[in-house]
Homo-oligomer: A and B are copies of this chain.
Amino acid sequence: MSWKKGDREERGYHHGNLREALIKAARDLIKEKGPAGFTFADAARSAGVSPAAPYRHFRDRDALLADVAREGFQRFEAMLATGWAGGKPDLITAFHNIGRAYLAFARAEPAYYTAMFESGVSPDLNAELRAASDRSFAVLRSAADQLVTLLPAGKRPPALMMSLHIWSMSHGIASLFGRGDGGRRSLPMTAEELLESEVLIYLQGLGFPQSA
């Protein structure tokens, strides 16, 4: 069987693009059965190759998982940046949009989210993963940097602290209520409404105007 290179991703030798195919297989299996519920052999089977083939691309299961997480952070960064949209239409609205993007990502990509935050893969053990994680956070950090300029110089909170606060709110809500794979708890309101009201009250506490 030989494939023409019609698809942009289709290239290479025997399989075509086994590395990416294995990452996709891992994502599907994580979504189906949780981060613990997939094996190296499973991923090979899903990708339609022999159980020995993955060893050409990943040292072991953890290396594969780390690559899923790294790819996840890349997409996450892109979604957060799209939410922020360079601070348009106004800084406060754009800031709320980052939170929405955060929840949208957790909902749309529960497999990536799990690999990134709950798979036990430590970013500190993998420089590339760490860098991808840091770049995601930098979107939030940079938004906070710009947001504090709305306040008079003497009343500005530390932007780092502020971005950590927003991150923890978003992550808390996403973890508890906003997962696409059957969230663990039900709510009398949507996760988005809960986060939006939380951020609103928080910004009021810092003295931000209702809109800008």
Binding site for B on A (CB under 8 A): 34-36, 117-118, 120, 122-124, 157, 160-161, 164-165, 167-173, 175-177, 182, 184-185, 187-189, 194-195, 197-198, 200-206
Contact (A176, B165) CB under 8 Å given A120-B34, A122-B184: no
Interface pair A206/B198, CB less than 8 Å apart: no
Interface pair B201/A165, CB less than 8 Å apart: yes
Contact (A161, B173) CB under 8 Å given A120-B36, A123-B184, A184-B122: no
**By DSSP majority rule, is chain A's interface helix, strand, loop, or mixed?**
helix
* Bound CA–CA A11/B180 (angstroms): 45
A197 neighbours in B (Cβ, 8 Å)? 161, 165
Interface pair B175/A171, CB less than 8 Å apart: yes
A200 neighbours in B (Cβ, 8 Å)? 205
A167 neighbours in B (Cβ, 8 Å)? 172, 176
Residue of chain B at shortest CB distance from A186: B124
* Bound CA–CA A165/B161 (angstroms): 18
A120 neighbours in B (Cβ, 8 Å)? 34, 36
* Bound CA–CA A177/B165 (angstroms): 12
Q: Which of B35, B173, B188, B201 contacts A202 (CB 8 A)?
A: B201
A182 neighbours in B (Cβ, 8 Å)? 122
Minimum Cβ distance to chain B for residue A110 (Å): 12
A168 neighbours in B (Cβ, 8 Å)? 169, 172-173, 176-177, 194-195, 198
* Bound CA–CA A206/B206 (angstroms): 11
A198 neighbours in B (Cβ, 8 Å)? 165, 168-169, 202
Minimum Cβ distance to chain B for residue A198 (Å): 5
